[in-house]
Structure 1
Amino acid sequence: MFQSFDVTSRPDQAAPRVTALRQEMSEAGLDAFLVPRADAHQGEYVAPCDERLAWLTGFTGSAGFAVVLKGRAAVFTDGRYTVQVRAQCDPKIFDYVDWPGTSLGGWLLGETAEKIGFDPWLHTIREVEGLRQMIAGGGKELISTGNLVNKIWTDRPARPSEPVATQPFDLTGKTSEEKFAEIGDAVAAQGAEAVVLTLPDSLSWLLNIRGSDIAHNPVVQAFGILTVTGRLMLFDDATKYAHLGPDPRISVLPRAAFGAALEELTGRVLVDPGSAPFAVKTMLKHAEIIEGTDPCILPKACKTPEEIAGSREAHLRDGAAMVEFLSWLSEQMPEDLTEIEVVKQLESFRAATGKLKDISFDTICGSGPNGAIVHYRVTDDTNRALKEGELLLIDSGAQYQDGTTDITRTVALGDPSAEERAAFTAVLQGMIAISTARFPRGVAGGHLDALARAPLWRMGRDFDHGTGHGVGAYLSVHEGPQRISRLSMLPLEEGMILSNEPGYYREGAYGIRIENLIVVQEAPELTGADPRDMLSFETLTWVPIDRSLILADELAPWEQDWVNAYHEEVWDKLKDRVSEHAKTWLRQAVAPV
């Protein structure tokens, strides 16, 4: 199994750990200390050795942070984790703060703490400078210090050190040499002579390598300094690269040497303030810093034809595995299964393809009220038996060498209620609206987000997560900068892969989400259209949608046509890829609504 169901932290562990941290704060002369979810690479997912927030608080979500003061502590996280954070954190120790509705700076201004400590490797330049500006004049001082959690975490795991693997040209469509030249030109265009790279997926993409430093994300955690002349200093454990042989372009140096290299760097250096640790800025003592976006991010997001072709094949393989799973699930008595058993069966069907490298994230398998926990992760403690008449939300994905998948299907375990069918149909309408969107070049994800929410808004409802995130090509399942979210004003471009996943969650009752992956393409010609440069989406995910949850009469004729055409294409693409037994189920599952 790629997924563990162990309970990695418990609420009752927090009290002695917070007490120990406060002792360290006192010795350091601090009134408060910030504990972010982030590591030095600012990725969404972190290695076990960097799980400081979970270790201290018990909260295992992928976004949030804690602030520990002398007499109070709080965990800040967004609407995706409202239920989870209250279940995982001891309310006697931690207050819950809705973030970003409440800003850290505003919250600190209301507290008496004056000297606020932070680890400069775990906060970005933009984050630190923004916070300093917010609390300026409030009698507060941000103080850069060593990591105090590290001092009390006596059994902290070691840093990952597994060997890297190369990603072949037929799946990347660009050689590493071509990428070096492309990024070098982009750096030079911004007036810099070198760039500091700290994002794992940027370096993995640039070097056409994949690693296993982060669970379920095939990236390498390293730091890099790339010059416009095509030389790269890579700071990591050299043993991970020894089997690749020497490369005259690349010098692999110890991770600990990164700080000294920054201090010795001269000239004009490009740094991304949104991803580089604040420590990078303080160590560039002799260089002229040019702030700009990591130049690997946008080229990485715009997939090559080879990457898109690989993703199509990965999704067909994954779709067949999902059909085998859903066929199996349809024959089970709900009461005979638990959430963990469902997760194990789904992984086994993917493993049976012979191509599974890993899952792309811990499967979210929430039955009944657990489905309302947006990023629910089943553990031995929370594992719940399925029940007839409930909904089962399954959000899962796989890492294959030719592509990364991410799919959500909500399944009725028996006869759904009218309320559940109405909510499901509204969510489906939102997903169809994004799937069929046709939009001018220059339109951003923030412009499209409302299309997915409008059917729910008409019911006085909404969901507290973005409609879509970017997805990598055998890289991180959550990839920027592309998003379908009201927060994103980045224009969408051809080759960007995104999720399309509206949902609805009734706390304590059920959760609904439907998710396909889509890729931005040049819009097909349309008779009678203006001569405008338009884009649209190609669907990548091909798995049936539970027809028992659809109120067909609530769908417009064109929406019914979309569902039926989608299901017919699912049949055409998968009928020869599944077992005869699953094929019988599939034929029924794709019948017209």
Structure 2
Amino acid sequence: MLMNTHESRLDALRQELKRRGLDGFVVPICDEHMSEYVGAYAQRLPWLTGFAGSAGSAIVLTDPTRTPAAAMFTDGRYTIQVREQVDARFYAYESVPQTSHAQWLAEHMPEGAVIGYDAWLHTAHWTRSVDAAIAAKGGKLVAVEGNPIDAVWEDQPLPSPALALVHAEEFAGQSSEAKRATLAEGLTSRGLDATVVTALDSIAWLLNIRGSDVAHTPVALSYVIAHADGTADLFIAEEKVTPELRQHLGNAVSILPRDGFIAGLECLAGKRVALDPDNAVVAIAHALNHAGATVIEARDPVVLPKAIKNPVEQQGHRDAQERDGAAVSRFLHWLSLEGPKGEVTELSAAARLLEFRQECGDLRDTSFNTISGAGPHAALPHYAVTEESNLTLEPNSVFLCDSGGQYPAGTTDITRTVWIGPGEPGAEVKARFTRVLKGHIALDRVLFPKGTAGSQLDILARHALWQAGLDYAHGTGHGVGSFLGVHEGPQRIAKSGGGQPGTEQALLPGMILSNEPGYYKAGEYGIRIENLVLVVPRAIPGAEGEFYGFETLTFAPIEKRLVDTALLTEEETAWWNAYHARVNELIGPQLDGAAKTWLEEQCAPL
């Protein structure tokens, strides 16, 4: 029934494309802000294909007789998931970055094809690359008037009407006025009149506002034009605006209807306007050019200061992590008792973890859909459990849980891989878990000079795995926001190359990243150990120049039963013992009874 539904939707889309004279259409999963997580109204790709991952896209050719007539594009995180959720009868599977939209269209579209795209869902960089590729085949890339999926999606949800909320300075650590003044100084120094801020988390940080328009990310649907005099225009639906918001923003921020954004862009005629080519949709560039503004391509000026947490934000993260660590520890204790009974499922485990987070107080949302993977599903790095895929946690198997919470003080993200007893794990899984652990410890302990990029540290997390001929197909660390996006740039720890942004960004004090090496044996089990870390200055006697290191922020016990102590060095064992002593110190006072006793046992020295 599910596939018949998606087949009929695909057919309806093709009929709409034919009516518009299009030979194909590109369907990304994003919104007009290029967000990672999008509101229900923008879930066009899942509606069309059934794919439930957070990153992917599709190309649909109008002629269903072509081979292939449509394709799904996903990265290595979703290789298995996309095959489970998207019908191979209708879509070919393509891997990125090995294959791009431009390459696929150049190879598979008909000669002289007219390919449609929604200019509110793609960047200028994307349009240039695709346009060049299909032009070589006599094709043409055209922006559509109104998304054709919206025309056939009969029960498409409306954008969220939730209120925009004030983010108190006690959590933000700096006023919006001060942030806007700094941004204005940067614009003036470059001879710019304004910048268009389109990323929802950048808007939230700049104006010290939050919202609930997007699952997992506390942002409000809006646009901002920030001017070189420190003023700003906020374009937001009127029903979202409260008296408290108006008072908070003051006279220097004009609050205008969201549907007046294009008119606001037209008012920039004759101005020099900065626009981020990687994060702003091409429709905005088109509107500015049409208005007669001079568009200067430049990175969103909010990105870097947002990534460098001020002292208040840093302390907020520590506080949120302690609260969250207690919830995770209670969950792990509960799982140690209930898991071996063979009655816990992936869904019930995720639900129980959410209850523990809610009980700890101040939880506003999860920071992403909990990855609750039993056995073979743990081998899918970004597995999303559904009612159809839901597995029982089998006794004597591996369970991987990657989860996080959104608290006003900070955003959390933690992964723990545990052994579901009552038996003991085998030698192979212990050895591979321990090699992942060794990589985690190496990255946690590293000291590095100022100017070091994430790509230069990535090998530390992989070295022990490489020595056994093993690896993992995802990055090692991503940036994390302050009560904002759980995935935040510009910093990243990953292999260089592959078109991945952020790997060459120097790591700076105040940046928060994840430390999450892993290993995945397809069809059997997966392993990942993730903590969040803060970049901090490190004093080294005799050092020549500035050096940095990581302060660990996440505290919850790591599965002791999966450790092969024979593979650990003395330094690694010392790290384990020191880390777990700190877990017991911070988390122990928040627990009581059997949970507290369990934690003490888990934190006993190796």
For 2:507, the equivalent position in structure 1 comes to 492
Shift of 1:136: 4.1
Give secondary structure in 2 for the equivalent of 1:388.
Answer: coil
Deviates more, 1:74-83 or 1:132-141: 132-141
Following superposition of structure 1 onto structure 2, how do residues 265-276 of structure 1 map, counting pairs within 5 Å? 265-266=268-269, 267-276=271-280
Tell me if 1:377 matches 2:390: no
Matched, 1:505 2:509: no
Query: Which position in structure 1 is the counterpart of 2:207?
Result: 207
Q: Cα–Cα, structure 1 residues 11 and 438, in superposed 2: closer, same or farther, change >3 Å?
A: farther
For 1:454, what is the secondary structure of its paired residue? helix
Listed one character per residue, the Cα deviations across residues 551-579 of structure 1 (whole Å, up to 9, x for unaligned) are 11111111111111111111112221112
Q: Which deviations, in whole Å up to 9, do the C-alpha atoms of 1:283-310 show, x marking residues without a partner? A: 1121011110000000000000000001
SS of 2:342's equivalent?
helix
- The residue aligned with 1:67 is 59
The answer on whether the counterparts of 1:76 and 1:99 sit within 8 Å (CA) in structure 2 is yes
Task: Look up the SS of the partner of 2:361 in the other structure.
Answer: coil
**In 1, distance between residues paired with 2:469 and 2:216?**
37
Instruction: Please give the residue correspondences for 1:510-525 in structure 2 after superposition, counting only pairs within 5 Å.
Output: 510-523=525-538, 525=539
The aligned length equals: 583
Instruction: Report if the CA contact (8 A) 1:391-1:413 is conserved.
Output: yes
> Any idea what the Cα deviations from partners look like across 1:206-250, whole Å, max 9, x if unmatched?
111110010111011211111111221111112212232352112
* Aligned residue number for residue 16 of structure 1: 8
Q: Does the Cα contact within 8 Å between 1:105 and 1:134 map onto a contact in 2?
A: yes
**Equivalents in 1 of 2:4, 2:392: separation in Å?**
26
> Under a length normalisation based on structure 2, what TM-score does the superposition of the two structures give?
0.94
Q: What does residue 253 of structure 2 align with?
A: 250
SS of the equivalent of 1:336 reads coil
2:447 touches 2:548 (CA, 8 Å); kept in 1? yes
Percentage identity across paired residues of the two chains: 45
Which residue of 579, 583, 588 corresponds with 1:570?
Answer: 583
Residue in 2 that maps onto 1:43: 35
How far off its partner does 1:502 sit?
0.7
How do 1:32-431 residues align onto structure 2 when only pairs under 5 Å count?
32-69=24-61, 70-71=63-64, 72-113=69-110, 114-146=113-145, 147-244=147-244, 245-246=246-247, 247-266=250-269, 267-284=271-288, 285=290, 286-332=292-338, 333-414=340-421, 415-431=424-440
Aligned-residue offset at 1:188: 2.1
Q: CA RMSD in A?
A: 1.3
Distance in 1, matches of 2:239 and 2:368, equals: 27
Answer yes or no: is the 8 Å Cα contact 1:10–1:88 preserved in 2.
no
Give the alignment partner of residue 602 of structure 2, picking from 586, 589, 592: 589
The answer to whether the 8 Å contact 2:363/2:407 transfers is: yes
Secondary structure (helix, strand or coil) at the match of 1:66 reads strand
Partners of 1:63 and 1:338 in 2: CA distance: 25
Contact 1:14–1:57 at 8 Å: present in 2 too? yes
Question: Contact conserved, 2:202 with 2:306, CA < 8 A, in 1?
Answer: yes
Aligned to 1:4: none
Say if 2:569 is the partner of 1:556: yes
2-structure distance, mates of 1:176, 1:560? 45
Partner SS state of residue 477, structure 1: coil
Q: Distance in 2 between matches of 1:111 and 1:188?
A: 48
2:23 is the counterpart of 1:26: no
> What are the superposed Cα offsets for residues 4-32 of structure 1, whole Å, 9 maximum, x if unpaired?
xxxxx943322111111111111211111
Higher mean alpha-carbon deviation, 416-425 vs 80-89, is at 416-425
Alpha-carbon distance between aligned partners in 1 of 2:139 and 2:457, rounded to the nearest angstrom: 40
Distance in structure 1 (CA, Å) of the matches to 2:465 and 2:341: 29
Runs of 4+ in 1 over 6 A off after TM superposition: none
**CA offsets per residue over residues 113-135 of structure 1, 9 Å max, x none?**
32111000000122212322344
2:468 aligned with 1:456: no
Separation in 1 of the partners of 2:5 and 2:458?
Answer: 40
Residue 264 of structure 2 aligns to a residue whose secondary structure is helix
Task: Check conservation: 1:14, 1:93, Cα contact below 8 A.
Answer: no
For 1:255 and 1:196, locate their aligned partners in 2 and report how far apart those are by CA, in whole Å. 14
Q: How many angstroms does 1:451 deviate by?
A: 1.2
Are 2:173 and 2:312, in contact at CA under 8 Å, matched by a contact in 1?
A: yes
The amino acid of 1:518's aligned partner reads: V
What letter is aligned with 1:389? N
Between the aligned partners of 2:3 and 2:203, the Cα distance in structure 1 is 37
Deviation at 1:264, TM superposition (A): 3.0
Q: 1:547 aligns with which of 541, 544, 560?
A: 560
Cα displacement string for residues 519-549 of structure 1 (whole angstroms, at most 9, x for unaligned residues): 10111x234x432211110000011110110
C-alpha separation in 2, matches of 1:280 and 1:10:
37
Q: What is the Cα deviation at residue 178 of structure 1?
A: 0.1
Any idea what SS the aligned residue of 2:31 has? coil
CA–CA separation in structure 2 for the residues paired with 1:591 and 1:243: 53
2-structure distance, mates of 1:579, 1:350 = 16
Contact 1:571 1:587 in 2 (8 A): yes
Q: Tell me what 1:438 maps to.
A: 447
Distance 1:391 1:16 in 2: 39
Alpha-carbon offset, residue 190 of structure 1 = 2.7
